[in-house]
Structure formats: C-alpha cells, structure tokens
Amino acid sequence: MTPHPLHTRACGDPCAGPCAGCPERIVCRCLKVTEGEIVDAIVSLGLRTVKEVKAVTNAGDGCTCCHVQIREYLEVHVACGVRVAS
C-alpha cells in the first residue's frame, strides 16, 4: 500500500493546508512515531526544526528517512503560525 502524498491529504487541524490527515499513520518507522504525535508537538510546542522535533518526539533519530516529511509538517505549521495555549 502506498501512502498518500502529504500534499493531497485534507487538513484536520487549525492550519489551512496539508497536515494531520492521518494522525495514526507511522511517519518514523524506526521509532514508531505517528503523524499525530509529530504534528501535535509542532503545534503545541512551537517547534521549528527537525532537530527540535527529534528531541521532543524521537522521530527521525533512526535512519532519518522521515526527515523529508517532518520538514513538510514544519513548513505547513510554521507558515500558519498556529500555537496551542498550554
């Protein structure tokens, strides 16, 4: 099964654009981190870099294949500037 490209999924969060379409989908296969965990961390903590995402979620700390997708999530969420009050 081929996952849908990031840009074709409907957005389920406050940002307009491609994000959070499949929250249970595993993005980081090495460490089993889901799209929902990554997007939630970006939005709620205001993360801006792959390094920050990796430090908080551990996503991308294995083979690094998921870095491209993490960067795409960051682009979407940084661009819309959504931050959830903690």
pLDDT by residue (tens digit) across 16-73? 444 446 888 899 999 999 999 999 999 889 999 999 999 999 999 999 999 999 999 9
pLDDT by residue (tens digit) across 60-81? 999 999 999 999 999 988 777 6
Other CB atoms within a 10 A radius of the CB of residue 45 amount to 15
Q: Which domain holds residue 48?
A: 13-80
Other CB atoms within a 10 A radius of the CB of residue 59 amount to 28
Residue 7 in any domain: the answer is no
Identify the CA nearest to 70 among candidates 44, 34, 17, 45. Answer: 34
Residue 2 in any domain: the answer is no
Residue with tokens 């083979």: 63
Q: What is the pTM of this model?
A: 0.70
Q: How many distinct structural domains can be found in the chain?
A: 1
Q: What is the pLDDT of residue 3?
A: 45
pLDDT at 85 over 50: no
Report the alpha-carbon distance of residue 29 to residue 73 in Å, rounded. 16
Q: Which tokens hold the place of 9?
A: 């999924």
